[in-house]
């Protein structure tokens, strides 16, 4: 590989639009505007896929000519044993099937990656360690299904401000510790800049993830303060905040990761933007902030 040269006005061929960035666009619109903007890949969310049905969604994806990069999201299995936990495990098995079907329908280079968000503390609990162990146990139940389907389960650590209600896995190191019990081809990690940029151990954790073959997907967006009242909606276009994409991207690239990179944004103002404009703005921010630190794919 050779170092990517300064970018022109074109869209980076490694950019993928995570559907959350254009949340209010239905599946047909999301596929259309992504392709119209010149982006080659997309990551889908379960709800829009389920709205049209898996078979129809797979056909639409195939017709779009886009690569499929991830399926978002599953997980949410920190509760103790009981009906709710069984229902969650069963739903994760459905998500595995969805990811495999969509990856098969996407263009060449598609990847069957299911993003897992662990879930927060069960109501009334203060036991973070126990909750993380239940995440490990749940993944252990799902590994045979994922392996049979050719799907990689990508544990996503979320920023610690989400630990109580959304994700008890807060660092990349914690995600790797859970994944360590399983085959790297089946259980990996999501490296999302928004969630891990603050971690003083982030660069060494990325290097470890590379050594262990655990980087399932690399996602980027930016962090800017003040945060909104709903901190879930605090993400920004790459380049609009304070994240050092140079060091993080260089660290990911140094592991040999050379696949697509998703931009995933939760932001009400961006969601209210015309979806084509939002995708174009995303592509421009990516080209300016991330692309200069990437190594180009070698033409075959």
- DSSP 8-state code for residue 119: B
Cis (ω within 30 of 0) for the bond into 172?
Answer: no
For residue 229, pLDDT beyond 60: yes
Angle at 16 between CA 11 and CA 22, to 5 degrees: 100
Distance CA 30, CA 24 (A): 9
Q: Residue 295: helix, strand or coil by DSSP? A: strand
The string of pLDDT tens digits covering residues 82-141 is 999 999 999 999 999 999 999 999 999 999 999 999 999 999 999 999 999 999 999 999
For residue 5, pLDDT beyond 60: no
For residue 162, pLDDT beyond 90: yes
The answer to whether 239 and 285 are in contact (CB under 8 A) is: yes
From the number of C-beta atoms within 10 Å of its C-beta (0-12, 13-18, 19+), residue 226 rates as exposed
Distance CA 19, CA 271 (A): 11
The answer to whether 252 and 296 are in contact (CB under 8 A) is: no
State the sign of the Cα–Cα–Cα–Cα dihedral 267, 272, 276, 280: negative
Mean pLDDT lowest among 33-47, 154-168, 284-298: 284-298
Q: Categorize the per-residue pLDDT at 296 as very low, low, confident or very high, splitting at 50, 70 and 90.
A: low
**Domain range annotation of the chain:** 15-292
Across the range 57-70, mean pLDDT stands at 98
Portion of the chain with pLDDT greater than 70, in percent: 95
Distance CA 105, CA 281 (A): 27
For residue 248, pLDDT beyond 90: yes
**What backbone phi and psi angles, to 5 degrees, belong to 263?**
-105, 120
Non-local (6+) Cβ contacts of 225 within 8 A are 242
Give strand ranges (E) for the chain: 15-18, 41-45, 67-75, 113-117, 152-155, 187-192, 215-220, 222-223, 235-236, 261-263
pTM: 0.94
- DSSP 8-state code for residue 174: H
For residue 297, pLDDT beyond 60: no
Q: What is the pLDDT of residue 10?
A: 83
Q: What is the pLDDT of residue 3?
A: 32
The string of pLDDT tens digits covering residues 6-46 is 333 589 999 999 999 999 999 999 999 999 999 999 999 99
Q: What is the pLDDT of residue 300?
A: 32
Distance CA 286, CA 210 (A): 23
Q: Categorize the per-residue pLDDT at 255 as very low, low, confident or very high, splitting at 50, 70 and 90.
A: very high
The CATH number that domain 15-292 falls under is: 3.20.20.150
Q: Categorize the per-residue pLDDT at 295 as very low, low, confident or very high, splitting at 50, 70 and 90.
A: confident
Angle at 154 between CA 151 and CA 160, to 5 degrees: 165
Q: What integer best gives the mean pLDDT of the chain?
A: 95
For residue 261, pLDDT beyond 80: yes
Distance CA 125, CA 254 (A): 40
Alpha carbon 232 to its chain centroid, in Å, reads 15
Across the range 70-80, mean pLDDT stands at 97
């Amino acid at each position: 590989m050779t170092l990517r040269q300064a970018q022109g006005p074109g869209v980076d061929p490694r950019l993928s639009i995570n559907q959350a960035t254009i949340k209010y666009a239905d599946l047909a619109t999301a596929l259309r505007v992504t392709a119209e903007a010149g982006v080659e890949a997309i990551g889908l969310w379960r709800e829009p896929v389920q709205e049209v049905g898996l078979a129809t969604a797979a056909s639409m994806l195939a017709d779009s000519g886009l690569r499929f990069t991830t399926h978002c999201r599953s997980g949410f299995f920190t509760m103790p044993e009981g009906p709710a936990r069984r229902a969650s495990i069963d739903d994760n098995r459905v998500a595995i099937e969805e990811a495999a079907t969509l990856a098969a329908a996407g263009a060449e280079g598609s990847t069957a990656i299911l993003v897992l968000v662990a879930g927060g503390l069960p109501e009334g609990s203060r036991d973070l360690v126990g909750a993380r162990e239940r995440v490990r146990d749940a993944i252990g139940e799902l590994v045979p299904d994922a392996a049979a389907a050719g799907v990689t389960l990508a544990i996503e650590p979320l920023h610690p401000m989400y630990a109580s209600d959304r994700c008890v896995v807060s660092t990349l190191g914690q995600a790797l510790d859970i994944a360590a019990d399983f085959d790297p081809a089946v259980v990996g990690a999501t490296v999302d800049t928004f969630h891990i940029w603050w971690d003083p151990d982030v660069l060494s954790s990325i290097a470890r993830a590379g050594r262990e073959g655990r980087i399932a997907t690399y996602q980027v967006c930016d962090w800017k303060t003040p945060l909104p009242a709903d901190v879930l909606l605090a993400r920004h276009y790459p380049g609009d905040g304070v994240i050092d994409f140079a060091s993080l991207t260089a660290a990911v690239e140094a592991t040999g990761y050379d696949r697509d990179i998703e931009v995933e944004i939760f932001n009400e103002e961006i969601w209210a933007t015309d979806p084509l404009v939002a995708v174009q703005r995303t592509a421009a921010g990516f080209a300016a902030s991330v692309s200069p630190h990437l190594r180009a794919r070698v033409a075959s």
